[in-house]
């Protein structure tokens, strides 16, 4: 076995492990649990021994089960337990999300099928409908103008009859 084969084997193994979702969940849980230690480690202007002392103090003060047991191993075990719980719950959440997505996809398909069953007008039917509507509008305008002419004639006749009646009444007085 050559040295390059060994390196390739180790890198492929590391790549497999790094692609595991559990590793990333654990790293996230660990970072969220100990974010102050990371801030001190990366952004503090203290010397390295003070940074290490701060982290050692944080490890010694770490508590387990909501402060009931004080042990140093709680520093790692709490994020580990959180990662295990999240890793177990994630498939259930994914199934629920998949169910909801499938439900709405089915509802969309039902809607599209009902929409596809509707019959739409062809171009010829649409043109015929437009011509019929224009004919109805033209008939309406003609009837309206005829009614206006008739009303005007009636008003003229009424005015003339009033004028005649007033002339008649003045003559007969």
Question: Which of 69-78, 85-94, 100-109 is the least confident region?
Answer: 69-78
| 37 and 86, same domain (yes or no) | yes
- Digit-coded pLDDT (tens) for 132-164: 999 999 999 999 999 999 999 999 988 888 877
- Reported in sequence order, the residue ranges of the chain that DSSP labels E, i.e. its strands, are 63-64, 69-70
User: pLDDT value at position 23?
Assistant: 80
User: pLDDT value at position 46?
Assistant: 85
Total domains in the fold of the chain: 2
Residue pair 155/162 in contact (Cβ under 8 Å)? The answer is: no
Backbone angles phi, psi at 122, to 5 degrees: -80, 175
Q: Compare 63 and 77 and report the one with higher pLDDT.
A: 77
Compute, in degrees rounded to 10, the torsion defined by CA atoms 71, 73, 78, 84.
-140
Mean pLDDT rounded to a whole number for the chain: 82
pLDDT at 27 over 80: yes
Tokens 């959440």 label which residue?
Answer: 93
Domain boundary among 117, 144, 160: 117
| 108 and 134, same domain (yes or no) | no
| 134 and 93, same domain (yes or no) | no
| 106 and 128, same domain (yes or no) | no
| 92 and 16, same domain (yes or no) | yes
Question: Which of 64-68, 90-94, 123-127 is the least confident region?
Answer: 64-68
- Digit-coded pLDDT (tens) for 30-51: 888 888 888 888 888 888 888 8
Query: Which pLDDT band holds residue 114 (cuts at 50, 70, 90)?
Result: confident
Range of the domain at 64: 3-117
| CA 121 to chain CA centroid, nearest Å | 34
pLDDT at 75 over 80: no
Domain boundary among 117, 135, 155: 117
């Amino acid at each position: 076995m050559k040295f390059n084969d060994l390196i390739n084997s180790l890198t492929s193994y590391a790549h497999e492990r790094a692609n595991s979702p559990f590793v990333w969940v654990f790293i996230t849980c660990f970072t969220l649990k100990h974010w102050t230690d990371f801030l001190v480690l990366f952004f503090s202007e203290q010397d390295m021994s003070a940074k290490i002392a701060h982290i050692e103090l944080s490890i010694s003060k770490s508590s387990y089960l909501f402060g009931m047991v004080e042990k140093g191993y709680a520093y790692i075990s709490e994020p580990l337990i959180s990662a295990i719980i999240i890793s177990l719950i994630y498939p259930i959440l994914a199934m629920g999300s998949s169910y909801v997505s499938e439900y709405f996809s089915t509802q969309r398909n039902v809607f599209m099928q009902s929409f596809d069953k509707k019959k739409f007008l062809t171009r010829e039917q649409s043109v015929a409908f437009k011509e019929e509507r224009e004919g109805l509008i033209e008939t309406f305008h003609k009837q309206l103008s005829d009614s206006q002419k008739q009303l005007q004639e009636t008003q003229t006749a009424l005015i003339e009859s009033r004028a005649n009646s007033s002339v008649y009444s003045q003559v007969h007085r």
